[in-house]
A and B are shown apart, each in its own frame.
Chain A
Amino acid sequence: MNALEARGIHKRYGGLAALADVDLTVKNGQFVAVIGPNGAGKSTLLNVLTGLAMPDEGQVLLAGQAITRMATNKRIRAGLGRTFQHGRVFARLSVLENVMTGAAIRGRLSESDLRDFSMEIIEQMGLADVAHEAIMSLSYGRRRMVELSRALACRPHVLLLDEPAAGLNSGEVDQLIDRLAELRAMHGLAVVLIEHNMGMVMRLAERIFVLNFGCKIAEGTPAEIQADPAVLSAYLGEGYAHAVV
């Protein structure tokens, strides 16, 4: 069974077609990337998948169950998790409290168990030393890790990451790649990654979907995508294929 599926998604904003007949399939435990130039509709696709935007046409299925019109918080409870492009931590909460907001969907936990569970995630993510710190006192890179921890605290089956490497330095990107690979191995997560950092995409993704002007122009393995003339022309650039070769 597919972990997440979008079928024939159309989304218009006035006269602009943000998404036109877009399909996306993510198998259980699969790492998928969605790439494309700015304005291609990648974040809109994540918004449709998470219920922050409703599609004009098409269907979204999570583990085979239609969730197209389901409220966002119910989708999260059903197994979706998401981070934002520009990092939207709760600025006036501590690191622990931020992670607790995600863990709180596990309603049957007592308050102390909920704190313990949140601390476990924080420790896994290497943030134990700042658990009680005000989040805005952390570096931007560590804040992004808190946001990822917060999404993981929801115990998602499918994790949607919207440009998690944006604003990180190369060392932090390497750490993020290692951490994502570990998490995936540990929790069997399916991941949908939107990212402009092609090094990260090619290292992690098993399958890549390419959007341009709201349309899917290609789908395939990293090797196939790197050799696809339509993708090279629309996004990667002709020089990319030569650089990789």
Chain B
Amino acid sequence: MADFVQLIINGLAIGSVYALAAIGFVIVYSATGVVNFAAGQFVMFGTFAGVATLVNAQLPWPFAYGAALLIMALFGALFFVSVYLPLRRGSIVTIIIGTVAVSITMQNAALLSFGSWPFRLPSPVEDSAVSLGGAIISLHALAVVAVTAVMVAGLWLLFNRTSVGVGMRAVAQDVQAARLMGLKVNRLLAFSWILAAVLAGVAGLMLGPMWFADVNMGDPIALKAFAATIIGGFGSLPGAIVGGLFVGLSEVLGASYVSSAYKDLISFGIMIAFLLVRPQGVFGEKIQDRG
């Protein structure tokens, strides 16, 4: 039982990271219709922003995290200005291919800046653990779940209780009508990209202590976030959360009770099953129902 509790917490922790990556993915997709193939590299940049501020610059924790997230916010704005804005008049496919190009560029930029040797990103609650139902739970894992819960609550408030969030939802549905309400559409779209980058930054900072900071870590994260959005429902925020947690749990439980060699097969197998049986996912709408 103790082992099971430990696995559940660990699964929820890694699932929380996938959920945050998936939420960033969904925010951008909902607002712009763009499937961001650089989403995994955004998380990787978040981890390396932490490496730069915590490990290299040796800043105190709060400043290091703040600086890393500020770097990610600036990166989101830069991405909007230099990739999305110039390409937005083209087809969506053009922008999507642009994100693929950027993902390759980001990976190589990280390789040039940090080298191929993995780093270890420390956690502020390193080596701390609590006992829960006989299981020894890493405090970092609990912190990841708690931080994700706070982020999700904050996002809910943003989208449902503020005019900025309502405006973002309006832009996501009908850009032309949003312009006719006087909404500053470009500013709201820029905010969507910045928000996605900051969420990826939070995911990266939390993932760093669980995985090694490796310039190649982006692709597996992107695939997991993608699986989470498919399972939860493409374009659905609750879906991204549920899907992320589900992928994290299936990965950890599958590795323990089946085989670590098949842990990815289980989550991707479930994703394929959803695509075949319920392509709209748990919370998603059928594509023909949108609009």
Query: Residues of A with Cβ closer than 8 Å to B?
Result: 50, 52, 71-73, 76-77, 82, 84, 88-93, 97-98, 100-105, 111, 114, 150-151, 154
Q: List 18 A-B contacts (CB under 8 A).
A: A52-B176, A73-B179, A73-B185, A76-B182, A77-B182, A84-B180, A89-B177, A90-B170, A90-B177, A91-B291, A93-B169, A100-B166, A101-B166, A101-B167, A102-B181, A104-B182, A111-B162, A111-B163
The answer to whether A84 and B177 touch (CB under 8 A), given A73-B182, A91-B291, A101-B183, is yes
What B residues does A101 contact at CB under 8 A?
A: 166-167, 170, 178, 181, 183
B174 interfacial by beta-carbon distance below 8 Å: yes
B173 interfacial by beta-carbon distance below 8 Å: yes
Given A90-B170, A104-B183, 20 more contacts at CB 8 Å?
A52-B179, A71-B179, A73-B182, A73-B185, A76-B180, A76-B182, A82-B180, A84-B180, A88-B174, A88-B176, A90-B174, A92-B173, A93-B173, A98-B170, A100-B163, A101-B178, A103-B163, A111-B162, A114-B163, A150-B181
Q: Which of B170, B180, B291 contacts A72 (CB 8 A)?
A: B180
B182 touches A105 (CB 8 A): yes
- Residues of B in contact (CB 8 Å), total 20
A111 touches B177 (CB 8 A): no
B120 interfacial by beta-carbon distance below 8 Å: no
Which of chain B's residues has its CB closest to A155's CB? B182
Which of chain A's residues has its CB closest to B178's CB? A101
What B residues does A90 contact at CB under 8 A?
A: 169-170, 173-174, 177
What A residues does B174 contact at CB under 8 A?
A: 88, 90
What B residues does A102 contact at CB under 8 A?
A: 181-182
Give Cα distance in the complex from A243 to B48, angstroms.
79
B239 to chain A: closest CB distance in Å? Answer: 14
B184 interfacial by beta-carbon distance below 8 Å: yes
Q: Which of B161, B177, B181 contacts A104 (CB 8 A)?
A: B181
B244 to chain A: closest CB distance in Å? Answer: 22
What A residues does B170 contact at CB under 8 A?
A: 90, 93, 97-98, 101
Q: Which of A50, A91, A105, A154 contacts B173 (CB 8 A)?
A: A91
What B residues does A154 contact at CB under 8 A?
A: 181-182
What A residues does B162 contact at CB under 8 A?
A: 111
B175 to chain A: closest CB distance in Å? Answer: 10
Give Cα distance in the complex from A90 to B182, angstroms.
14
Give Cα distance in the complex from A91 to B172, angstroms.
11
Give Cα distance in the complex from A50 to B163, angstroms.
23
Interface centre among B173, B182, B184, B291 (most CB of A within 10 A): B182
Which of chain A's residues has its CB closest to B177's CB? A88
Q: Which of A52, A76, A91 contacts B181 (CB 8 A)?
A: A76
Give Cα distance in the complex from A12 to B161, angstroms.
44
A92 touches B169 (CB 8 A): yes
Closest 4 CB pairs of A and B: A76-B182, A105-B182, A72-B179, A104-B163
B180 touches A50 (CB 8 A): yes
What B residues does A150 contact at CB under 8 A?
A: 181
A105 to chain B: closest CB distance in Å? Answer: 4
Give Cα distance in the complex from A84 to B178, angstroms.
12
Give Cα distance in the complex from A50 to B179, angstroms.
10
Give Cα distance in the complex from A114 to B163, angstroms.
8
What B residues does A71 contact at CB under 8 A?
A: 179
What B residues does A105 contact at CB under 8 A?
A: 181-183
A157 to chain B: closest CB distance in Å? Answer: 13
Give Cα distance in the complex from A121 to B162, angstroms.
18
A73 touches B184 (CB 8 A): yes
Which of chain A's residues has its CB closest to B169's CB? A93
